[in-house]
Amino acid sequence: YKIEEDGISMRTIPGNGSYLIANTDEHNETGYSNEEGENRKNQMQKRMRKLVTCEKVDMQEPKLFGPNEADLTIVSWGSNKGSILHAMKKFENVNFLYINWINPFPGEKVKQILGKAKKIIDIECNYSGQLADLIRQKTGIEITERLLSFNGRPIYPEDIIEKINKTITG
């Protein structure tokens, strides 16, 4: 909880025999619960600096698979990657923007790539299309074509191929 310039406090490394027990309240720099306004403000500012540090040091840019220009761009994240890459083997003019970092969100890079897309499909394993909504919030690009699965099972390549065919033809 120590306030650091880059926002990153030292932590216990898993597997070394040490451990940390903490409650869900705000903590001061020495680790004790402290809900005072000034302490809360300082801890939140530290967390936000951590995001800036993360952008500078660790953040991986979204990865575009397939041709730079395509008739259709798929956008997704997480465990859908394998099924999408498998389905793409059936198409020559489809690409896939894989977003591997959600926060901080790489809005400019996503906007640059999706801004050139002719048609876009969002593929996600959740009820509402959370990534598509985040893309709209951060870039202004609205993705209306979605393939969503929320039955607890993965999205299969066959489902993706069917959605691509329907979107391309019409």
Question: Tens of pLDDT along 42-78?
Answer: 999 998 888 888 777 777 889 999 999 999 999 999 9
d(CA 114, CA 75): 9
In this structure, the chain runs to a length of: 170
* 74 and 42 belong to one structural domain: no
Residue 168 above 90 pLDDT?
A: yes
* Six-digit token string for 90: 């059936």
Helix axes 107-114 and 130-139, enclosed angle (nearest 10): 100
* 49 and 14 belong to one structural domain: yes
Helix axes 81-88 and 157-169, enclosed angle (nearest 10): 60
* 82 and 121 belong to one structural domain: yes
Count structural domains, the chain: 2
* 39 and 79 belong to one structural domain: no
The reported pTM is 0.75
* 104 and 45 belong to one structural domain: no
End-to-end CA distance of the chain: 54
5 vs 88: which has the higher pLDDT:
88
**Average pLDDT of the chain to the nearest whole number:** 91
> What CATH number does residue 163 fall under?
3.40.50.920
Residue 20 above 80 pLDDT?
A: no
* 94 and 154 belong to one structural domain: yes
* 82 and 143 belong to one structural domain: yes
* 31 and 97 belong to one structural domain: no
Residue 94 above 90 pLDDT?
A: yes
Q: Provide the 10 A C-beta neighbour count for residue 6.
A: 13
* 33 and 87 belong to one structural domain: no
Domain assignment of residue 103, given as a range: 63-169
Query: What pLDDT shows up at residue 32?
Result: 86
* 157 and 84 belong to one structural domain: yes
- The burial of 133, by beta-carbon neighbours within 10 Å (0-12 exposed, 13-18 middle, 19 or more buried), is given as middle
Residue 48 backbone dihedrals phi, psi, to 5 degrees:
-70, -35
Query: What pLDDT shows up at residue 149?
Result: 97
